[in-house]
């Protein structure tokens, strides 16, 4: 949030990820470089095993690359220890998971506030109210996850990710566990965050309809970035994917 | 389905091994207890079996009553010669057996923790009960052989001098040899061996024999010899085959050890209970984890029965495997118990570990059965729901309204029933104590039943202090603990049981000590008391002569003691007093009687302690019959009834009567009243001086006497504590296991928390707080319950002079130790939680 106001939020350069050694080594990523610009909505796509989830994990500081560097603003993630990385995650990165991953014994509101409270930070009540209205859960805030539908749970997760005003929100298959209507609602909310809040968002998905909400689409295959394209509609994305296969 | 079961076992090796660990712990506790008691029993049998080696028939006095301090009547030695002349007898030898204490290098008698201090006379060939492993047989008045264990402990070798107290003042003997009895280690017991003539001289048993060993000619059956020998014997003596004699002796010792074995058995029951809790809890967690798996199976078309059978099969496999390892663990536990006891000063005789079929059946049976029940109950509940209903992610069990009510009602019924048992009816104090113990069980169970409700209520209160630290972590911990109250409750309940028992025993013992002290302060009006170091072994009568020489003594009144049986009720302790001097040193607390009763007290009369009187339904003027150790029947008339729970606890006779019917030359205590105005300290040191030839005989002031008698409770306490500490340790391992499993169960949740920015340290604190909440609840409930039970029991015994005044410092100490231990238990799981790999955890199913 310093002088890099116009620079990219996240930079990954020459990222390699290898599991195992020697002959049995598996190369999940073989030298991928990406830049995610402020206020951009990026979709990372590719067939299973293409390395798209690995890329997201590296960019989000959840995993370390075998080679290459990741920058979040002016911070080089690849230099940080576990403690610093953890603190960075909680203040500057938001996550939305495919499986919602809410804590079952906490209410919707408590789940949203959890990252801030773990960090021991002040809670901005107005911001919370705004978010609750934005995700349409102002009347369900006292409910616990088991009492919410899948779509509602994912919207809680979205609000949770946005609550700390992170530099970037990563979403891993955010619609994977939802029906099309609920998925559409979640995606439109992500879109609104980008448009109205200039929130930087990156999603990993294999669903062309989901990727169609993004400004920019990265296609991976066998751990290599094979194509990059500006906004496409679902049919066009499907064609690209078919061509990649 | 069976293949699925096996695959599932292997696929979830970690989960299965944790469940199995719980089974191992439970079974180890149970088998450990059984193996330990069996081993001690076998050791005593071996000890007594070996003493009859080479003999076909053993002649001794009848010993009808199990007691260590009894002095069996001696046989006329002339009998030996008459037996030797019988046809078919190849050899017969007399043996003297008595007690002798060895004086250690520090000038004090060796402590044997109440185990026998045997003095035996040597036996000629062919009797080989004493196995000389070094040196030679003792010859002459100055030689002794001692047992190998004592020799090793005291660094004594052949040729060394050792001081021994027999019936005579302490004297030095030269060690001629080292002996062993059988293959057994004697523990803290000691054996000294003299030649026959020396033994007779030392114990004043000229012309007598305590045992006659008889060997048969080749081909002559013991039966034949018995037929020949029996007509030669008067009724107080008995001839037995060597095997029967061994069994009789061993049984007698076993009976003496009933306090110990009873305690161990009680511990075994507690072990089963705690073990069952640990197994049950662990298995219910693992099954709960698999509800989704079951749902998938059900959705794929598996019948409910098939799923249950699969769980049953898995539980059986885990139960059997865990039990087998647990049996091995039990052998280790037995060694551990022995080590703990001997470090507490109770070094029991031991031999190779004894693993009986019964032990295997009970241990493995409990292990497998509890595992089955623990596995099938939650599985049955899980599979009752429609297949897909459980596929949704769900919060675990919150108690339904109906279940709450059922629990409250059941608990109320249990408490009511338990208290009814405690408070109804009267009877002797031991009967009431027994009823209290029985009544306590449903009360403890009631707390277990109420556990889940208590957890909900207590979790909030308990976590209040920790929430002042890292609030969110503390709140998460509280919510996790309250998430499945039933599980937290069971997890805590093993700690509850341990602490409850420890505190109950502590408070009860303290009440007994206090009241004993009070009784002694009230009743002993003499200034000084001479007794043995341990207060229980009798002292040589020659000590009286030494004492009476001291100037300034107004009255010296000796007390003798022997075991006997009251025809109507059972074993009692008989005390003999000197009616002419007793009034100056001891004040009777008359229930029915007066000073005149004592003045007219004569042979043929008995004074009866009120508990004995109550148990035997005796009133003043009633006639009753006392049976001595050798089977002699003594008719008596009740002359008075008094109350004394500390010193004269059974039936009191005149010395004249006692000396006529009992073979007890030694004294129990000598009470001394000084002339008015005499200096107590000076008299005490003069008496100590006069008694210096009797190490192990001490002079005690009134205060010291009270402490000594009161501390008898302590030796039992040590044993209980040792065992209960083991229980608590097991309970803690249970908590570790539960926490580990609950971390495993929440792997993904923890991963998400970490991904959202929870530091490793916060994760560690989270789990530690959860463990702390569990152990605080366990410690609080356990402490409350222990104090409550003690109050109930002590109240029911208030007529005995017991007063409920808990040693609060100790209560707080026990609470703190339980708490601390519980917190320590959460350290390893917390470390595991902190080290969790974030990515792997998120991907965890």
ipTM entry: 0.76
Chain segment B495-517, per-residue pLDDT in tens: 888 888 888 888 888 888 888 88
| Under 8 Å between Cβ of B19 and B318 | yes
Does residue A106 surpass a pLDDT of 60? yes
Which uninterrupted H or E stretch holds B564?
strand B553-566
Q: How far apart are CA B454 and CA B435, in angstroms?
A: 27
Rounded Cα distance between B231 and B212, Å, is: 15
Cβ contacts (< 8 Å) between A144 and chain B: which residues?
A: 395
Q: If we measure between CA atoms, which residue out of A166, A182, A218 comes closest to residue A34? A: A218
Does an H or E element contain B636, and which? strand B633-642
* Element (DSSP H or E) covering residue B51: helix B13-51
Mutate to test the interface with A, among B392, B473, B751, B755 (most CBs of A within 10 A): B755
Sequence-distant contacts of B201-206: CB under 8 A, at least 24 apart: B201/B141, B202/B98, B202/B100, B202/B119, B202/B166, B202/B167, B202/B168, B203/B96, B203/B98, B203/B119, B203/B166, B203/B167, B204/B167, B204/B665, B205/B74, B205/B96, B205/B98
Does the structure show a pLDDT above 80 at A76? Answer: yes
Instruction: Decide: helix, strand or coil at residue B549.
Output: coil
Does A63 sit within 8 Å of B472, measured CB to CB?
A: no
When pLDDT is averaged across residues B226-244 and rounded to a whole number, the result is 86
Closest CA to B466 of B769, B763, B777: B769
For A118, which of B480, B748, B756 is closest by C-beta distance? B756
Q: Using one digit for the tens of pLDDT, what is the confidence trace for B10-37?
A: 666 666 777 787 788 778 877 887 888 7
Q: Is B687 on the interface with A (CB under 8 A)?
A: no
pLDDT at B387: 54
Query: Does the distance separating the beta carbons of A145 and B393 come in below 8 Å?
Result: yes
The pair of structure tokens assigned to B63 is 């010993």
pLDDT at B640 over 90: yes
Phi, psi of B435 (to 5 degrees): -65, -35
Interface test mutation site (partner B, options A61, A100, A103, max chain B beta carbons within 10 A): A103
- Is the pLDDT at B562 greater than 80? The verdict is yes
d(CA B151, CA B103): 12
B527: left (phi over 0), alpha (psi -120 to 50) or beta: alpha
Nearest-CA distance B391 → chain A (Å): 12
More confident call, B213 vs A119: B213
Report yes or no: B845 at the A interface, CB cutoff 8 Å: no
Name the residue facing B393 among A63, A97, A146 (closest C-beta): A146
Across B406-444, b (16+ Cβ under 10 Å) vs e yields ebeeebeebbebbbebbeeeeebbeebbebbeebbebbb
CB B73 within 8 A of CB B395: no
Residues of B with Cβ-Cβ distance to A115 under 8 angstroms: 756-757
pLDDT band for position A14 (50/70/90)?
Answer: very high
pLDDT at B708: 81
**Could you give the angle at the alpha carbon of B740 between the alpha carbons of B3 and B34, nearest 5°?**
80
Q: Answer yes or no: do B757 and A87 touch at CB < 8 A.
A: yes
Q: Which of A179-188, B43-52, B603-612, B810-819 has the lowest mean pLDDT?
A: B43-52
d(CA B810, CA B806): 8
How would residue A162 be classed by pLDDT, with cut points 50, 70 and 90? very high
Q: What is the pLDDT of residue B646?
A: 79
Q: Taking a contact as any Cβ pair under 8 Å apart, which residues of chain B between 820 and 839 contact chain A? A: 838-839
Q: Among candidates B464, B491, B441, which has minimal Cα distance to B280? A: B491
DSSP state of B354: -
pLDDT value at residue B301: 62
- Residue B502 tokens, joined: 């420890």
Nearest-Cα residue of chain B relative to residue A166: B756
Confidence of residue B610 (pLDDT cuts 50, 70, 90): confident
| Residue-level pLDDT at B395 | 42
Tell me the β-bridge partners of B185. B350
- Grade residue B296 by pLDDT with cuts at 50, 70 and 90: low
- CB contacts of B479 in chain A (<8 Å) are 105-106
Nearest-by-Cβ selection for B480 from A83, A90, A105: A105
Residue B761: is its pLDDT beyond 70? yes
What pLDDT was estimated at residue B392?
A: 43
3-state SS of A83-104 is: HHHHHHHHHHEEEECCCCCCCC
CB B344 within 8 A of CB B719: yes
Q: Rounded to 5 degrees, what are φ and ψ at B110?
A: -65, 140
In a mutational test of the A interface, the residue from B479, B481, B759, B841 whose CB has the highest number of chain A CBs within 10 Å is B759
Q: Is B844 on the interface with A (CB under 8 A)?
A: no
Per-residue confidence band for B66, with pLDDT thresholds at 50, 70 and 90:
low
SS3 content of chain B, % helix, strand, coil (to 5): 60, 15, 25
Tell me which residue has tokens 């908590």.
B735
Three-state SS for A122? Answer: coil
Q: What is the pLDDT of residue B493?
A: 78
What average pLDDT score do residues B610-623 get?
A: 88
Round to whole Å and give the CA distance between B742 and B723: 29
Asked whether the beta carbons of residue B756 and residue A90 sit closer than 8 angstroms, the reply is yes
Q: How many CB atoms are located within 10 Å of the residue B120 CB?
A: 24
Q: Tens digit of pLDDT for each residue in B366-398?
A: 888 888 887 777 777 766 655 544 444 444 455
Beta carbons of B746 and B845 less than 8 angstroms apart: no
Model pLDDT, residue B144: 94
Answer whether B757 touches A (CB < 8 Å): yes
Contacts of B472 in chain A (CB under 8 A): 114, 117-118, 120
Q: What is the interface size between A and B, counted as CB pairs within 8 Å?
A: 76
Average pLDDT over chain B, rounded to whole?
81
Q: Please give the structure tokens belonging to residue A229.
A: 């394209």
Write out chain B residues lying below 8 Å of A111, CB-based.
none
What are the pLDDT digits (tens) for B463-472?
666 555 667 7
pLDDT (average), residues B134-145:
92
Q: Which is higher by pLDDT, B719 or B561? A: B561
The answer to whether A118 contacts B393, with C-beta atoms less than 8 Å apart, is: no
Q: Does residue B793 contact residue B501 with C-beta atoms inside 8 Å? A: no
CA nearest to A169 within chain B: B756
The full 3-state SS of B454-490, as one line of letters, equals HHHHHHHHHCCCHHHCCHHHHHHHHHHHHHCHHHHHH
Peptide bond into B657 cis (omega under 30): no
| Tokens standing for residue B785 | 């319950």
Contact B132, B60 (CB under 8 A): no
Starting at the edge strand found earlier in the chain, the sheet holding A93-96 runs A93-96, A168-172, A200-204, A41-45, A216-221, A224-230
The nearest alpha carbon in chain B to A115 belongs to: B756
Tens digits of per-residue pLDDT, B258-281? Answer: 656 666 666 666 766 777 777 777
- Average pLDDT over every residue of A63-81: 89
Instruction: Compute the distance between CA of residue B606 and CA of residue B620 in angstroms, rounded to an integer.
Output: 9
Q: In the prediction, which pLDDT does B393 show?
A: 42
Q: Which residue of B has its CA nearest to A103?
A: B749
Residues B802 and B841: beta-carbon distance below 8 Å:
no
CB contacts, 8 Å: B758 with chain A: 86, 90, 118
Indicate the average pLDDT of chain A: 88
The sign one gets for the Cα dihedral B390, B392, B396, B401 is negative
Tell me the shortest Cα–Cα distance from B388 to chain A, in angstroms.
14
Query: pLDDT digits over B305-326, tens only?
Result: 777 887 788 888 888 888 899 8
Distance, in Å, from the CA atom of B118 to the CA atom of B120, rounded to the nearest integer, reads 6
- Among B480, B748, B757, the residue with its CB nearest the CB of A119 is B757
Q: Is pLDDT above 90 for A201?
A: yes
Mean pLDDT confidence for A86-99: 86
In this complex, is the C-beta atom of B482 within 8 Å of any C-beta atom belonging to chain A?
Answer: yes
How near does any CA of chain A get to the CA of B479, in Å? Answer: 7
Distance from CA of B751 to the nearest CA of A (A): 9
Q: What angle do CA A24, A26, A29 make, to 5 degrees?
A: 160
Average pLDDT value for residue range B582-589: 91
Q: Are B271 and B30 in contact (CB under 8 A)?
A: yes
* pLDDT tier, A97 (very low <50, low <70, confident <90, very high otherwise): confident
Query: Distance between CA atoms of B724 and B707, rounded to whole angstroms?
Result: 25
Residue A10, pLDDT score = 93
Least-confidence region, from A63-77, B368-382, B394-408: B394-408
| Closest chain B residue to the Cα of A60, Cα to Cα | B755
**Which pLDDT band, with edges at 50, 70 and 90, does B294 fall under?**
confident
| Alpha-carbon distances, residue B315 vs B12, B293, B330, B499, B599 (angstroms) | 13, 16, 21, 30, 74
Of B395, B761, B762, nearest to A105 by CB-CB distance is B395
What residues in A contact B753, CB-CB < 8 Å? Answer: 103, 114, 118
The pLDDT assigned to B261 comes to 61
User: If interface means Cβ-Cβ distance under 8 Å, which residues of chain A face chain B?
Assistant: 57, 62-63, 82-83, 86-87, 89-91, 95, 97, 99-101, 103-106, 114-115, 117-120, 144-146, 160
């Amino acid at each position: 949030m310093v002088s890099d106001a116009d620079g990219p939020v996240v930079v990954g350069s020459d990222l390699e990820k290898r599991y195992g050694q020697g002959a049995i080594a598996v190369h999940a990523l073989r030298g991928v470089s990406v830049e995610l610009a402020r206020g951009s909505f990026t979709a990372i796509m590719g067939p299973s095993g293409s390395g798209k989830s690995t890329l997201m994990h590296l960019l989000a500081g959840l995993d370390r690359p075998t080679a290459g560097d990741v920058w979040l603003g002016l911070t080089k993630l690849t230099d940080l220890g576990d403690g610093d990385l953890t603190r960075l995650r909680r203040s500057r990165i938001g996550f939305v998971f495919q499986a919602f991953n809410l804590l079952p014994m906490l209410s919707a509101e408590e789940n949203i506030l959890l990252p801030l409270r773990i960090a021991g930070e002040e809670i901005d009540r107005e911001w919370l109210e705004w978010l609750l209205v934005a995700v349409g859960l102002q009347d369900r805030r006292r409910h616990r996850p088991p009492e919410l539908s899948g779509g509602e749970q994912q919207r809680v997760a979205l609000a949770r990710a946005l609550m700390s005003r992170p530099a970037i929100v990563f979403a891993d298959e955010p619609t994977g566990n939802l029906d099309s209507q609920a998925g559409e609602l979640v995606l439109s909310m992500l879109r609104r965050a980008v448009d109205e809040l200039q929130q930087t968002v990156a999603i990993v998905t294999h669903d062309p309809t989901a990727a169609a909400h993004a400004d920019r689409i990265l296609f991976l295959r066998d751990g290599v970035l094979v194509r990059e394209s500006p906004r496409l509609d679902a049919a066009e994305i499907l064609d690209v994917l078919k061509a990649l296969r | 389905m069976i293949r699925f079961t096996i695959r599932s076992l292997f696929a979830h090796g970690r989960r299965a091994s944790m469940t199995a660990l719980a089974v191992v712990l439970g079974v180890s506790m149970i088998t450990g207890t059984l193996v330990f008691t069996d081993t001690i029993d076998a050791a005593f049998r071996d000890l007594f079996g070996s003493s009859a080696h080479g003999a076909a028939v053993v002649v001794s006095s009848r010993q009808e009553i199990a007691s260590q301090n009894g002095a069996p009547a001696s046989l006329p030695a002339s009998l030996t010669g008459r037996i030797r002349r019988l046809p078919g007898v190849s050899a017969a030898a007399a043996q003297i057996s008595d007690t002798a204490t060895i004086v250690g290098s520090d000038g004090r008698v060796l402590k044997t923790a109440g185990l026998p201090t045997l003095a035996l006379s040597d036996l000629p060939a062919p009797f080989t009960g004493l196995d000389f492993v070094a040196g030679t047989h003792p010859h002459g008045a100055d030689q002794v052989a001692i047992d190998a264990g004592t020799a090793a402990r005291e660094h004594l070798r052949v040729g060394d001098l050792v001081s021994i107290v027999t019936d005579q003042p302490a004297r030095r003997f030269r060690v001629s040899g080292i002996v062993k009895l059988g293959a057994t280690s004697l523990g803290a017991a000691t054996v000294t061996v003299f030649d026959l003539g020396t033994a007779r001289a030392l114990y004043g048993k000229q012309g007598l024999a305590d045992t006659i060993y008889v060997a048969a000619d080749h081909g002559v059956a013991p039966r034949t010899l018995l037929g020949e020998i029996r007509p030669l014997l008067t009724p107080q003596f008995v001839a037995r085959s060597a095997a029967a004699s061994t069994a009789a002796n061993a049984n007698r010792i076993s009976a003496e050890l009933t306090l110990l074995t009873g305690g161990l058995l009680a511990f075994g029951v507690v072990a089963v209970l705690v073990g069952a809790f640990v197994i049950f809890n662990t298995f219910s967690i693992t099954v709960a984890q698999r509800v989704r798996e079951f749902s998938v199976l059900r959705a794929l078309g598996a019948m409910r029965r098939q799923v249950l059978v699969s769980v049953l099969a898995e539980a059986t496999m885990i139960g059997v495997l865990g039990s087998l390892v647990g049996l091995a663990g039990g052998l280790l536990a037995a060694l551990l118990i022995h080590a703990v006891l001997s470090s507490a000063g109770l070094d029991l005789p031991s031999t190779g570990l004894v693993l009986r079929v019964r032990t295997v059946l009970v241990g493995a049976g409990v292990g497998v059965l509890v595992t089955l029940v623990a596995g099938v109950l939650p599985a049955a509940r899980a599979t009752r729901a429609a297949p897909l209903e459980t596929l949704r992610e769900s919060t675990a069990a919150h108690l339904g309204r109906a279940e709450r009510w059922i629990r409250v009602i059941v608990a109320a019924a249990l408490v009511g029933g338990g208290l009814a048992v405690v408070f109804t009816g009267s009877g002797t104090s031991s009967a009431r104590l027994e009823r209290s113990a029985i009544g306590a069980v449903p009360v403890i169970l009631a707390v277990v039943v109420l556990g889940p409700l208590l957890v909900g209520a207590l979790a909030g209160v308990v976590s209040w202090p920790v929430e002042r630290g890292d609030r969110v972590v503390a709140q998460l911990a509280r919510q996790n603990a309250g998430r499945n109250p039933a599980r937290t409750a069971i997890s805590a309940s093993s700690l509850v049981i341990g602490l409850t028992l420890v505190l109950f025993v502590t408070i009860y013992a303290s009440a007994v000590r206090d009241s004993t002290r009070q009784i002694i302060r009230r009743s002993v009006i003499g200034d000084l008391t001479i007794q043995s170091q341990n207060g229980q072994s009798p002292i040589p009568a020659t000590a009286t002569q030494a004492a009476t020489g001291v100037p300034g003594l107004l009255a010296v009144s000796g007390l003798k003691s022997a075991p006997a049986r009251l025809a109507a009720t059972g074993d009692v302790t008989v005390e003999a007093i000197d009616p002419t001097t007793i009034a100056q040193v001891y004040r009777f607390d008359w229930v029915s009687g007066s000073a005149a009763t004592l003045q007219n007290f004569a042979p043929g009369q008995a004074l009866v302690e009120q508990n004995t009187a109550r148990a035997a339904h005796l009133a003043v003027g009633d006639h009753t019959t006392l049976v001595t150790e050798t089977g002699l029947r003594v008719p008596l008339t009740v002359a008075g009834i008094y109350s004394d729970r500390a010193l004269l606890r059974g039936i009191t006779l005149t010395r004249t009567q006692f000396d006529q019917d009992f073979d007890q030359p030694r004294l129990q205590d000598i009470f001394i009243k000084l002339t008015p105005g005499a200096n107590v300290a000076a008299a005490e040191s003069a008496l100590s001086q006069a008694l210096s030839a009797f190490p192990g005989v001490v002079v005690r002031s009134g205060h010291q006497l009270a402490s000594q008698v009161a501390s008898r409770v302590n030796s039992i306490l040590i044993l209980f504590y040792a065992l209960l500490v083991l229980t608590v340790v097991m309970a803690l391992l249970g908590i570790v296991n539960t926490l580990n499993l609950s971390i495993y169960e929440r792997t993904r949740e923890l991963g998400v928390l970490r991904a959202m920015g929870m530091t490793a340290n916060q994760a560690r604190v989270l789990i530690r707080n959860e463990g702390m909440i569990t152990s605080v609840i366990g410690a609080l409930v356990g402490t409350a319950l222990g104090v409550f039970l003690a109050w109930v029991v002590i109240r029911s015994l208030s007529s005995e002079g017991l007063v409920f005044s808990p040693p609060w410092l100790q209560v707080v100490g026990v609470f703190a130790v339980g708490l601390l231990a519980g917190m320590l238990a959460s350290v390893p799981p917390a470390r595991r939680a902190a080290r969790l790999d974030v990515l792997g955890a998120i991907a965890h199913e």
